[in-house]
Structure 1
Amino acid sequence: MVFVIDSSSSIWEPNFKQQLQFVQQMVNTFDVSQNKTRIGAINFSNRVVREFHLKTHDSKERVLSAISEVEYTAGDSTNTNEALMVLRTEYFTEWSGDRSDVPNIAILLTDGGSTLMAETVNEANLNKETGVSMFAVGIGHTVNEEELTLIASAPKADFMYILENVTELQTEAFTQLISHQACKILKNDTNEEMCKRIVDVVFVIDSSRSIWITYFKQQLQFVKQLVNAFDVGQGKTRIGAINFSNRHMTEFHLNAYDSKEDILNAVSNVQYTAGDMTNTFDALRLLRTEAFSEVNGDRSDIPNIAILLTDGESSNMASTVKEAQLTREAGVTIFAIGIGDKIIKEELEQIASSPTSDYMHVLETFTELQAGDFVKRIIDLACKGKNFTYMGELSLLVLTFNC
């Protein structure tokens, strides 16, 4: 595993040090030695600094010490292409300590676009062609999402992440998320058991302006993580999506796409509308009256699951509660999950099915939405049909957070 750390001047020195702390947190999750996991590090800006190779340090303590000594260079350009070339031609080589029978993982940290995007993408592709699993982690508002998408390995939902700031980088939930994905590679366990339960799933995605665009994109990442867990096809699980704020629109219906790849691409193309209202009640009405209809691909003999993501209090609580009640009366099981310290618990309680101890949950931070344990919990409920006693019933998961 090699960490590729951005040290350009756009990253302030305190933030650079927080990157190093994240690297140390990651190292602490692995069993490090020359016979087990080996760690290397590259520091880059206008120049590339070869901090230490895979064979340099033979213990976790020495690796952690070496990371603490990595210096901030404050270069005036971001030559990611050169860092990735060094990664490929020097680090993942036998001379550097690379082992041909062990998976290779690179974790790139950057706060913006590279100076030469075409060269960067080319070098990333060359790395991936040699078998390197590329994680691309972007931090802040100046991240080039298109470039990160092209750098990261597939599926992008597992290998590309965009964070609002370096503080999120250091959360335990995010460290666990990346460690979990890396461990799957090291254990040759990238193909987790897929959910074989056949369901019709519609994601209802909040796009109001109270959700910053970075967090909106993280919603899409969460959606893609869940999509990846299902066996998708018109004869298997079907997926649909609704996007809402002051207005609502159907992004794609249950019968729109036949393959997981097409659905993941469609999710990536969902646009942030930044509406000035959160008309959750309209989204619930559209969900109940149109999304789960035969003409749009709903199957009467297949369980229906809707996953609603929202940023908190709706624009009209009374109407939202009424629509939630109508949905429950139609046989809907509603999960209400709030994130942050400004959650309107009263509204969540009236949206959620009973008992609320099972169907209403509050997460402390937004990053926890993508944490492996939380995602797995939601997938297990949807896949196993826990507490879903009737075929054709509609199960609704509500996730809400504050930015």
Structure 2
Amino acid sequence: MSRTMRTYMLLATLAADSKAKLCGNIADIVFVIDSSSSIWEPYFKQQLQFVQQMVKTFDVSQKKTRIGAINFSNRVVREFHLKTHDSKERVLSAISEVEYTAGDSTNTNEALMVLRTEYFTERSGDRSDVPNIAILLTDGESTLMAETVKEANLNKETGLSMFAIGIGHNVNEEELTLIASAPKADFMYILKNVTELQTEAFTQLISHKACKILKNDTNEEKCTRIVDMVFVIDSSRSIWINYFKQQLEFVKHLVSAFDVGQGKTRIGAINFSDRHMTEFHLNSFDSKEDILNAVSNVQYTAGGTTNTFDALRLLRTEAFSAVNGDRSDIPNIAILLTDGESSNMASTVKEAKLTREAGVTIFGIGIGDKINKEELEQIASSPTSDHMHILESFTELQAGDFVKRIIDVTCKGKELYLHG
């Protein structure tokens, strides 16, 4: 089922009960509004009407929910900051005065940089003890996708919840997926046209999702179980760079679910293709923030072959060793991500067996239609129903239900995880 079809189904579900209750929870919310020339001026004004309808669903004031707005195309217009207006009426009036710039490019990356460095700052009215939410509206793809994804990731790493709403047939779904927070089913939407953006049902849908964030209903329960966990990440050239980055987003989401520290859960990472490298060891970092930054900095190598066996050997002989931070009394877990089959199945199966016999529980996650199911079954620990997963796409890797399933299984305290 496509993202667009899921959105339509949600709209249909909400249509019967579209009268919203006012969200009384508190947040700092910034709207990021596309004003490029590909959007006709009447459609731009419909975006503003959607923003106004959204604002009406919140209890707006400086002591409650604060609202800011950014207008972007080839340049970024700082419409108003979180501290600028102290009432809903003034915010609504300011939105009605936002002007259509008709810029000849879509510099989404610059808008997201301004969002992070200027808007969600104490100087501009951001509050450290209040959830940060951004709602991005666009009708196409950015001029510089790589920079846009980079800036989106930097925003999300600060704890920002990012809604990405694409309108029309020129939207780049892959880019929108990388911009949005996880789970994507809650934060990424593609609409057929601006008319759908203006439906009361869609306004209530986004308001409802945002209000759930305010109540912290979308945060997974943190896993307090202590493990030594190493991620083994496929970087072969069969994976496009943007899909590689989606792997990193998945890794960061899992890391965020654990209580990380040298006296708690430790995290390591290996990157492999025709060559293999340790990105960081279990004892490299002391904090979750440092680990998340390190994951963001993992480089795509685009190697010509997939030497999974070398990565598994490195996992067993170096990553899970005392000198590199492995603890003999703590369960060892490896999460291997790949989009195909290894260059040498016999050697890969052999190394996987040796790794499991050393007490490492291996999760084998295959993405796409090039996966060798037989090989993945022989890599993963038993039962394969828990430890082997084949996904249709990298977008599915970001799905909230899948991420939660992996978190739930890794957080179980089963005897099979213990090693000697």
Provide the TM-score with structure 2 as the length reference.
Answer: 0.61
**Cα deviation per residue 1:203-244 (whole Å; 9 max; x = unaligned)?**
111111111111111111111111111111111111111111
Deviates more, 1:169-178 or 1:193-202: 169-178
Deviates more, 1:345-354 or 1:39-48: 39-48
Instruction: Give yes or no for the alignment of 1:261 onto 2:278.
Output: no
**Does the 8 A contact of 1:285 with 1:323 survive in 2?**
yes
| Inter-partner Cα distance in structure 2 for 1:136 and 1:171 | 17
- Which of 210, 217, 225 in structure 1 is aligned with 2:253? 225
**Does the 8 A contact of 1:114 with 1:120 survive in 2?**
yes
Mark the CA change 1:219 to 1:110 in structure 2 (over 3 Å): closer, same or farther.
farther
Deviates more, 1:121-130 or 1:329-338: 121-130
Mark the CA change 1:327 to 1:379 in structure 2 (over 3 Å): closer, same or farther.
same
Deviates more, 1:327-336 or 1:359-368: 327-336
| Inter-partner Cα distance in structure 2 for 1:269 and 1:308 | 18
Q: 1:351 Cα deviation (Å)? A: 1.8
Instruction: Give yes or no for the alignment of 1:401 onto 2:405.
Output: no
Q: 1:8 Cα deviation (Å)? A: 2.9
Deviates more, 1:216-225 or 1:127-136: 127-136
Mark the CA change 1:70 to 1:354 in structure 2 (over 3 Å): closer, same or farther.
farther
Mark the CA change 1:198 to 1:55 in structure 2 (over 3 Å): closer, same or farther.
closer
**Does the 8 A contact of 1:340 with 1:401 survive in 2?**
no
| Inter-partner Cα distance in structure 1 for 2:305 and 2:198 | 32
**Does the 8 A contact of 1:174 with 1:368 survive in 2?**
no
Secondary structure class of the residue paired with 1:384: coil
| Inter-partner Cα distance in structure 2 for 1:349 and 1:173 | 44
Runs of at least 5 residues in structure 2 that lack an aligned partner in the other structure: 1-28
**Does the 8 A contact of 2:336 with 2:365 survive in 1?**
no
Mark the CA change 1:288 to 1:129 in structure 2 (over 3 Å): closer, same or farther.
closer
Mark the CA change 1:308 to 1:113 in structure 2 (over 3 Å): closer, same or farther.
same
**Does the 8 A contact of 2:329 with 2:419 survive in 1?**
no
| Inter-partner Cα distance in structure 1 for 2:284 and 2:271 | 16
Q: 1:266 Cα deviation (Å)? A: 1.2
**Cα deviation per residue 1:348-383 (whole Å; 9 max; x = unaligned)?**
222223343343222222111111111111111111
**Cα deviation per residue 1:153-206 (whole Å; 9 max; x = unaligned)?**
999999999999999999999999999984552214576532111110111111
**Does the 8 A contact of 1:339 with 1:401 survive in 2?**
no
Mark the CA change 1:116 to 1:365 in structure 2 (over 3 Å): closer, same or farther.
closer
**Cα deviation per residue 1:133-164 (whole Å; 9 max; x = unaligned)?**
65579999999999999999999999999999
**Does the 8 A contact of 1:6 with 1:45 survive in 2?**
yes
Residue aligning to 1:144: 172
Deviates more, 1:138-147 or 1:293-302: 138-147
**Does the 8 A contact of 2:168 with 2:192 survive in 1?**
yes
Deviates more, 1:244-253 or 1:102-111: 102-111
Q: 1:328 Cα deviation (Å)? A: 2.6
Secondary structure class of the residue paired with 1:39: strand
Mark the CA change 1:364 to 1:65 in structure 2 (over 3 Å): closer, same or farther.
farther
Counterpart mapping for 1:241-280 below 5 A: 241-280=269-308
Q: 1:316 Cα deviation (Å)? A: 0.9
Deviates more, 1:235-244 or 1:323-332: 323-332
**Does the 8 A contact of 1:174 with 1:371 survive in 2?**
no
Instruction: Give yes or no for the alignment of 1:316 onto 2:333.
Output: no
| Inter-partner Cα distance in structure 1 for 2:393 and 2:196 | 9
Mark the CA change 1:344 to 1:86 in structure 2 (over 3 Å): closer, same or farther.
closer
How many residues in Structure 1 have an aligned counterpart in Structure 2?
A: 391
**Does the 8 A contact of 2:59 with 2:65 survive in 1?**
yes
Instruction: Give yes or no for the alignment of 1:33 onto 2:61.
Output: yes
Q: 1:259 Cα deviation (Å)? A: 1.0
Mark the CA change 1:124 to 1:219 in structure 2 (over 3 Å): closer, same or farther.
closer
**Does the 8 A contact of 2:274 with 2:305 survive in 1?**
yes
Mark the CA change 1:173 to 1:271 in structure 2 (over 3 Å): closer, same or farther.
farther
| Inter-partner Cα distance in structure 1 for 2:198 and 2:381 | 34
Mark the CA change 1:297 to 1:120 in structure 2 (over 3 Å): closer, same or farther.
closer
**Does the 8 A contact of 2:232 with 2:336 survive in 1?**
yes
Deviates more, 1:231-240 or 1:342-351: 342-351
Q: 1:36 Cα deviation (Å)? A: 14
**Does the 8 A contact of 2:331 with 2:417 survive in 1?**
no
Mark the CA change 1:95 to 1:319 in structure 2 (over 3 Å): closer, same or farther.
closer
Runs of at least 5 residues in structure 1 that lack an aligned partner in the other structure: 387-398
Q: 1:92 Cα deviation (Å)? A: 12
| Inter-partner Cα distance in structure 2 for 1:143 and 1:96 | 31
Mark the CA change 1:199 to 1:72 in structure 2 (over 3 Å): closer, same or farther.
same
**Does the 8 A contact of 2:361 with 2:417 survive in 1?**
no
**Cα deviation per residue 1:255-277 (whole Å; 9 max; x = unaligned)?**
11111111111111111111111
**Cα deviation per residue 1:306-336 (whole Å; 9 max; x = unaligned)?**
1111121111111111111222333343333
Mark the CA change 1:152 to 1:234 in structure 2 (over 3 Å): closer, same or farther.
same
Percent of counterpart pairs with the same letter?
91
Q: 1:57 Cα deviation (Å)? A: 19
Secondary structure class of the residue paired with 1:362: strand
| Inter-partner Cα distance in structure 2 for 1:368 and 1:174 | 23
Secondary structure class of the residue paired with 1:95: helix
**Does the 8 A contact of 1:312 with 1:401 survive in 2?**
no
**Does the 8 A contact of 1:162 with 1:218 survive in 2?**
no
Mark the CA change 1:149 to 1:359 in structure 2 (over 3 Å): closer, same or farther.
closer
| Inter-partner Cα distance in structure 1 for 2:195 and 2:277 | 34
**Does the 8 A contact of 1:309 with 1:400 survive in 2?**
no
**Does the 8 A contact of 1:314 with 1:320 survive in 2?**
yes
Q: 1:67 Cα deviation (Å)? A: 15
Mark the CA change 1:98 to 1:201 in structure 2 (over 3 Å): closer, same or farther.
closer
Secondary structure class of the residue paired with 1:236: coil
CA-atom RMSD in angstroms: 8.7
| Inter-partner Cα distance in structure 2 for 1:80 and 1:92 | 17
